[in-house]
Amino acid sequence: MAARPIWKGAISFGLVHVPVTLFSLEQKFDLHFRMLDSRTKSTIRYERVNEETGEEVPWDKIVKGYEYQKGNYVILTEEDFKNASPEASQTIDIQNFVAKDEISDIYFDKPYVLVPQRKAEKGYVLLREVLSKSGRVGIAKVVIRTREYLSAVVPMEDCLVLVLLRFAQEIRPFKEFDVPREALSHYKVTDREIELAEQLVEAQTAKWEPEKYHDEYRDQLMKWIDAKAEKGEAVRGEEGEEEAADTQVLDLAELLRKSISGKEPKAKSKRKSKSSKSA
């Protein structure tokens, strides 16, 4: 199944904007199980029930509400989420560039691939190449659906990948956990044992080839399910338009120079002056 676009906007670094479309880089292969009534083998469904009336609520009648006081809600529509910060919801705003190896693995969360929109290839390639050569990644904020995320724009093969990062406050301090922290001698770990363990690690060291690892538990479980089905143990249950990218041709070199000097390009200044007149 082809990947579906999740978000459309632009990568922003300095005064350069690169229109992109966001796709999930993950593929899920989870086994999905239905809950059944053990007596009749009928499927069990969850209902969206009104707490006061006990009646089921159709999807088109459900809205999102924020409880700002006990029992009092502010109702929010999809338009409200966009209007809260239109620029933030449409831009991957790179704020800094950092060396990738400075970011601890525990901060990396979920990967997405960024694909340039029509006529945005030049800016995309420029950013990809400069990140690859410098060994740096772009640290950015991005709003996806209703939440702002910290993220890293990372060059991988021919792609720019947006990796969602965890905020520092989302990581529990290591000191919270009761783990051994005394000197090795306290646990009677000898130099000889360390040496042998190092030899074992060295003997089992190999080149990282992710394709040689796969979900063996899922394979075995599927074999078990197929075997049960072949034995007749299966039962029959009762089932209760793309937006056009900005095609304006930009002088990337000029935008980069302006970004470094802190000046705005003339085209942007003109747009601002028009809007101020109309106001």
Each residue's pLDDT tens digit, 38-97: 787 788 877 888 888 888 888 888 888 888 778 788 888 777 777 766 566 688 989 999
Q: What is the pLDDT of residue 13?
A: 87
Which residues neighbour 61 within 8 Å (Cβ) at sequence distance 6 or greater? none
Residue 240, pLDDT > 60, answer no
Token representation of residue 83: 């209007």
Residue 235, pLDDT > 60, answer no
* CA gap 18, 120 in Å, rounded: 6
Token representation of residue 111: 């990967």
Lowest-pLDDT range of 138-142, 193-197, 213-217, 246-250: 246-250
* CA gap 163, 100 in Å, rounded: 12
Q: What is the pLDDT of residue 236?
A: 61
| Of 203 and 74, more confident | 203
CB atoms within 10 A of CB 197: 11
Q: What is the pLDDT of residue 237?
A: 54
Please report which confidence band the pLDDT of residue 243 belongs to, taking 50, 70 and 90 as the band edges: very low
| Of 233 and 76, more confident | 76
Q: What is the pLDDT of residue 183?
A: 92
* CA gap 183, 192 in Å, rounded: 16
Q: What is the pLDDT of residue 263?
A: 61
Q: What is the pLDDT of residue 182?
A: 93
* CA gap 224, 218 in Å, rounded: 10
Grouping H, G, I as helix, E, B as strand and the rest as coil, residue 253 is helix
Strands 136-144 and 16-24: unpaired
Q: What is the pLDDT of residue 137?
A: 95
What is the chain's mean pLDDT, rounded?
81
Q: What is the pLDDT of residue 279?
A: 36
Domains for the chain: give ranges and CATH numbers.
Answer: 1-43+75-178 (2.40.290.10), 179-230 (no CATH)
If we measure between CA atoms, which residue out of 150, 145, 118 comes closest to residue 18? 118
Q: What is the pLDDT of residue 87?
A: 62
pTM (2 decimals)? 0.66
Residue 268, pLDDT > 70, answer no
